[in-house]
Structure formats: structure tokens, C-alpha cells
Amino acid sequence: MILTSEQRITLHGFNNLTKSLSFNMYDICFTKTKTEREAYIAYIDQQYNADRLTAILKSVADIIGAHVLNISKQDYDPQGSSVTMLVSEGPIEKAPNESFEESPGPLPHAVVGHLNTSHITVHTYPEYHPDEGISTFRADIDVSTCGEISPLKALNYLIRSFDTDIMTMDYRVRGFTRDISGHKLFIDHEISSIQNYIPSEIKDMYHMIDVNVYQENIFHTKCKLREFDLNNYLFGYTKDTLSKEEQLEIEKSVKWEMDEIFYGKNMVFV
């Protein structure tokens, strides 16, 4: 649907649309021994502790033009962390046209937008396979806004904030708002794909698949890193310390893990 600027701005009261983005990222590592696995989990816990995640979410709040009202954060034992923010609208009275375009959002300190009461959350999940030497770190981030600017504008920054092998992104617009004539608006911006909010240099790095339900304003995109360098999946050593047979076996194991996450199903390892 194409909306005029008058439709976007001249509403009957508050913009009641709820726009929700779920961003899930996965980092995969081959940890051959218990010592390697524990070192990897400790590294992840330090790299993505509650304080750093809080800083990331504060930047997201800046990007979508929000005031942080309350922060709840927690580091868990033995691993993992969570941060939840309640946010309210920023001081900018009118969102610019770029807020409605299908284009990557700004990075922090280049911020414009309008937001009303909403929330941002992140939870981390380090885990490992009991037998096969694979460790996986997952972070789930949810950004929910009520108002004009879409949380998709935070996606560019979120992707750059994590080392990501696999990404899944879900976006949905719920509810409706009314223009001054009483006409319902079930969405107030153009969108054909989440991919249009990701910069081209990042899209070139990933194989991407869309599953969209346009009539319900539901959009889903999943991404898997195109290039594979085994050194990026070893913790504490490089592939030149391994035999060719070991390299091939580890590469097969890591790629299998990535495919299972990307396609969302268990596959028979042969």
C-alpha cells in the first residue's frame, strides 16, 4: 500500500500500530575438549555480558528515538544474560520520510524518529552438544514499538553488533490506527522484505531466504554466512595444527550444525 504524508501524519489521535522485530543470531564454534568448551563459554559470557548488552540496547533506543525509562539486567550462573528496557517516546515530534522507506537504518549518533511507550529485550543462550564438540551461542533480541518509526531501522546496527553465522528475523505489524476520516490503517509504511533494511555489503555476505505473509503484515528472513573459513570456528588454535582429515571432519560437523539451524530441522549426519 502507498500512503501519502498526510495519511502518515494526520491521524485520529495516537498511532496505535504495534511494530515488533525479533532478531536472533547464532555463533558456532568447534570445541574439541571440555577445556576448550569451558573457555569458549567463558569468552562468550564476558563478550556479551549484561553490561555490554545494555550498551547495545541503549544504542537501539537512540536509533528509534526513544527515552529509556527503566532497565532490568541480569548475568546468570552458569552462563547467559538478559536485559529488558522500558522506553517511551523521544522528543522529536514528526518522523521524517526516511522512517517509512525500505532502507537500512542509521548507526548511533545519526538518529531521527518518533516512538511511544514500548520495550526492548535481549536474552543470551550459550550451549553445547554433549558429544560432538559443537558449541553454539544464541542471542534473541526483541524490539517492539508503538508509533511511527519501525524497529527495522535498528537492524543495521544490531547485525554489526554481533559476530553472526546465522540470523533469523521476524517482523510483524499488529492492530490498526485511524486517519482523521476514520479510515483504518493496518500498516503505515511500505515493506516488501526485511532484506531491504539490510545494507548491500552485509547482504553480499549471506545466503538469504524470505517467507512472507503479506496480507497479514508478517515478514520472515533467515540468513546463513556464505564464505566458510575453518579458522573462524576453532577456539585457541588454527587449522594448520590439524591434519587434512581432521580439518575435513570438523568442517563437515560445523557446516552440518549451521544447516540444521538455518533450515530449522535435525538432519542425519553421515
How many angstroms from the chain centroid is the CA of residue 193? 15
Question: Scanning the structure block, which residue is given the C-alpha cell 585457541?
Answer: 236
Cα-based distances in Å from 19 to 37, 121, 127, 199? 38, 14, 30, 21
Phi and psi, residue 19, nearest 5°: -115, 120
Establish whether 123 is a catalytic residue. Answer: yes
CA distance 116 to 118: 6
In terms of Cα–Cα distance, which of 58, 22, 45, 40 is closest to 174? Answer: 22
Establish whether 118 is a catalytic residue. Answer: yes
Number of alpha carbons in the 13 Å side-chain half-sphere of residue 231: 4
Sign of the torsion angle spanned by Cα atoms 92, 119, 111, 56: positive
In terms of Cα–Cα distance, which of 86, 114, 91 is closest to 14? Answer: 114
Q: How many CB atoms lie within 10 A of CB 92?
A: 16
H or E, element range at 142: strand 134-146
Active-site option among 135, 144, 146, 253: 146
Cα-based distances in Å from 103 to 190, 198, 242, 258? 10, 7, 44, 28
Active-site option among 22, 88, 119, 123: 123
How many angstroms from the chain centroid is the CA of residue 50? 17
Active-site option among 99, 118, 150, 253: 118
Just list the catalytic residues.
Answer: 118, 123, 146
